[in-house]
Amino acid sequence: MTEPQTEYDAIVIGAGMSGLACAIRLGMFDKKVALIEKHSVPGGLNSYFQRVKKDKEGNRVGIRKFDVGLHALTNFAKKGEKNKPLLKILKQLRLRYDSLEIQEQSYSQVLFNEKVLKFTNDIEFLVAQVKEVFSEEGERFEKLVKFVEEFDDTSLEFEFTSTKNELKKQGFSNEFIECLLCPLLFYGSSWENDIDLQQFVILFKSIFMEGFARPYGGVRTLINPLVEKLKDNNVDVRFKTAVKKIIKENNKVSGVELEDGTVLKTNQVYSSVGLPETESLLMKEKSKVGNLTFVECLYVFEKKIDREVNDSTISFFNYADRFNYECPKTPTDFRSGVFCIPDNYEKVESEEGMIRITFIANYDHWNKFSEKEYLAEKEKVKEQGLKLIKKLCPQDNRELLYTDIFTPKTITKFTSHKGGTVYGSPLKKRDGLTETKDLYVIGTDQGYLGIVGSLLSGITMANIYGLKGGL
C-alpha cells in the first residue's frame, strides 16, 4: 500500500462491494485513490466474521468462519459466455473466473402456502414449472419472459414504476404475482409490497434467467482477491477509519473530514454508505430512510444435511394469506422469509452443516428493546427458526452445535445503515449524481444491489465520472 497522504484524485467512502470495485477501477488508471472504511474488515453488508469453536466441555477447539450475507451469488454465468454481467465485472476488475471456483445451485423454490414453484439456472425449467403449478398463467409468463428480455434496463433516469400494476395489466392473478415477486422482493426491494419495474427486470434476469451460484470458500473467495487488487493498484486503504463529514466549497466537493479530525483533500468523492447516510455526512438530511430490515439466523449442525431430507439451495416461503413484504407491526414477521441451505452445492469447505434463515423485522422495535427484551426476542427468533427447520426438513435429526443471530441493530452497528436497511432508500440515484458537484452515490442507493449489482455499480460510476469525465 502507498504511504498515507492528504491529497487524492478520488476518495471512496466504504469498502463494501461497490466501494472495493470503484477504488480498484480508479486505481487501475493511475488515479491517486483513498478508500476509507469504518469497520475493521472489507465487505460491508456482505462481509465475513469468525467465532471461537468450543467442544462440549467449553474448551476452545478452533474457529468457525461465517459469511455475513452470502446466500448465493446471483447472475451465474458459465466461463466464456457472451454479454453476462458477472463476466463483464471479472474482466473490468481483471479477476480470473476460475479463481472464484463458482458452483451452480441445485435448485431453489418458492413455497407459497400449498404451492411449490421450483427454479434452476435455466429459465425454460421455470416456464415449465409455471405451466404445471399455475396452468392458466403459462402463456402469459412466456410473454413476460420476452417482455423482460426486450426491456431496456440500462436507463439512468429514476422514476418509480409499480411492477404490481404492470403485472396486473398483463393479466396475472394476484396470487401468481405475489408468488413470483416473493424471491425478487426478498433479494432486492426497498419498496414495501412492490418493486420498481426496472429493478424487477434486473432482478428477474439475475435470479430467474442467470441464476444462483456460490464461490467455494464463501464470500472470502471473492473479497480476498479484491483486497489484493487494491494493493496492486496503490489504493490507500484505511480500515477502522470513519468519514465524519464531506467538505464542499461553492457546492463542489473538496475533501472529507475523518472522525479523528484529519482532513483529506480530493477532487471527487464516491460514497457507498447510502443516500440518506451520505446526506448526513453533508449535514443535511432529506431522503427517506427505507422501512425494510431483516434478522438473519445461522444454525450450525454437526454435519451436512442429508440430501434425501432436503436438497434445495434456497426456499423463499410465505405461509400468510397474502405475502406481506412490509415493515411488520411486531418486531419480527415469521410468516415469510428465506430459508437457505448452503450445504447443497457440490463442494462445501466445512465439515459441519449450516442453515440460514431470514425474517423481515421492524427496526424501531429492535432498537428500543431493553437488553433483556432484546435477548428474549432473539431467543424467540431462534425457536421460530428451529420450528421452520422441522417443517421444511422433517427428518433432520442432526445435532445443533451453534446459533448466531444478527438483528437490524447489528446491521446498523457494523455498516452504519440507518434503520438497519439492506436495500437502502426507496429513492435511487441511477446516474449517481447528487446536488453537490463531484460527489457521487455508488452501490445500493445508486440502484444496483446484491453482490454483483454493487460491484457493477462501483465499476460503472468509476468508469463514467472518474475515467470518462462524465455522462
Binding residues vs ligand FAD (CB under 6 A): 13-19, 36-39, 44-46, 69-72, 74, 242-243, 272-273, 294, 296, 415-417, 422, 443-444, 449-451, 454
Best CA proximity match to 448, nearest among 144, 75, 81, 167: 75
Q: How far is the CB of 165 from ligand FAD (least distance, A)?
A: 25
Host H or E run for residue 300? strand 293-301
Give the Cβ contact number of residue 106 at 10 Å: 17
In the bound state with ligand FAD, the residue whose beta carbon lies nearer, of 45 and 144, is 45
Residues 6+ apart with CB under 8 A from 180: 110, 167, 172
Complex with ligand FAD: residue 167 or 439, whichever CB lies closer: 439
**Nearer Cβ to ligand FAD (44/215):** 44
Question: Measured between alpha carbons, how far is 324 from 430 in angstroms, rounded to an integer?
Answer: 27
Of the pair 109, 444, the CB lying nearest ligand FAD is at: 444
**Minimum distance of ligand FAD from residue 308's CB (angstroms):** 25
Per the CB < 8 A criterion, the answer to whether 459 and 25 are in contact is yes
Q: Would you call 86 helix, strand, or coil by DSSP?
A: helix
Q: Which residue has the cell 409468463?
A: 141
* Shortest distance (Å) from residue 434 CB to ligand FAD: 15
Nearer to ligand FAD, 70 or 354 (CB): 70
Residue 129 C-alpha cell reads as 414449472
Q: Quick one: 120 or 415, whose CB is closer to ligand FAD?
A: 415
Q: How far is CA 174 from the centre of its chain?
A: 27
In angstroms, give the least distance from the CB of 296 to ligand FAD.
4
Q: How far is the CB of 69 from ligand FAD (least distance, A)?
A: 3
Half-sphere exposure of 21 (CA within 13 A, CB side): 29
- The nearest distance, CB 57 to ligand FAD, in angstroms, is 32
Cβ-contact 461, 442 below 8 angstroms: yes
Question: What count of other Cβ atoms lies within 10 Å of the Cβ of residue 24?
Answer: 29
